[in-house]
Amino acid sequence: MSTSQECPQGRDLPYDVFSRGCPSRATLEHVTGRWGALTLGALSHGSFRFNELRRRVDGVSEKMLAQTLHALERDGLVHREAQPTNPPRVDYELTALGRETARRLVALIEYLEGSMDEVLAARERYDAARTPAGRSATA
């Protein structure tokens, strides 16, 4: 863990994600990794059962979703509720900390979605500048 004296630019915080040993790094990775971000974004719309969540987060494998949910639950962002029914029912929802994290993450997601025309144009300019004349970018 990093101390406040090690925080960059005079920040008075007990943790410093830029410090190698800081535990906030792992949480940042869980939240901002592809499956963590998409899982939190999906759960921002309410409670989901595992398979509902897997369908919502298109492309995630069962194993990756389970690992992601475990990490987010361990970090206190997701609550897992197992109901003693037959068959067992397990619901996942955000905790208060998870809701605040997801709120901020969803704002970033919405900003990026709204900026995709600019992003795609930038990619096109970048690729065109690096493609030798007469050759396609995919060749």
Contact 49, 83 (CB under 8 A): no
* Secondary structure letter of residue 94 according to DSSP: E
Task: Note down the domain range covering 85.
Answer: 34-130
Closest by alpha carbon to 78, among 111, 108, 53? 53
Per-residue confidence (pLDDT) for residue 14, from 0 to 100: 86
Asked, for residue 139, whether it belongs to a domain, the answer is no
Look at the chain and report how many structural domains it folds into: 2
* 138 in any annotated domain: no
Kindly state the average pLDDT of the residues 65-71: 98
Mean pLDDT to the nearest integer, 102-111: 96
Q: Are residues 8 and 60 in the same domain?
A: no
Domain CATH code at residue 73: 1.10.10.10
Per-residue pLDDT at 1: 42
pTM: 0.81
Residues comprising the chain, all counted: 139
Question: Measuring CA to CA, which residue among 59, 26, 56, 33 is closest to residue 43?
Answer: 56
Is residue 124 domain-resident?
yes
Distance CA 7, CA 17 (A): 9
Percentage with pLDDT > 70 across the chain: 86
Mean pLDDT taken over the chain: 89
pLDDT of 2 above 50 = no
Q: What is the DSSP string of 12-74?
A: --S--TTSTT-THHHHHHHHHSHHHHHHHHHHTT--EEHHHHHHHSTT--HHHHHHHHHHHHH
Residues 38 and 90 grouped into a single domain: yes
User: What is the average per-residue pLDDT within 50-70?
Assistant: 97
In a shared domain, residues 17 and 48: no
Q: pLDDT for 15-50, tens place per residue?
A: 999 999 999 999 999 999 999 999 999 999 999 999
Angle at 97 between CA 91 and CA 101, to 5 degrees: 95
Q: Are residues 82 and 98 in the same domain?
A: yes
- Confidence bin at 11 (pLDDT 50/70/90): low
Mean pLDDT across the stretch 63-85?
A: 96
| 23 and 80 fall within a common domain | no
Averaged pLDDT, 106-125: 97
**pLDDT band (50, 70, 90) for residue 131:** confident
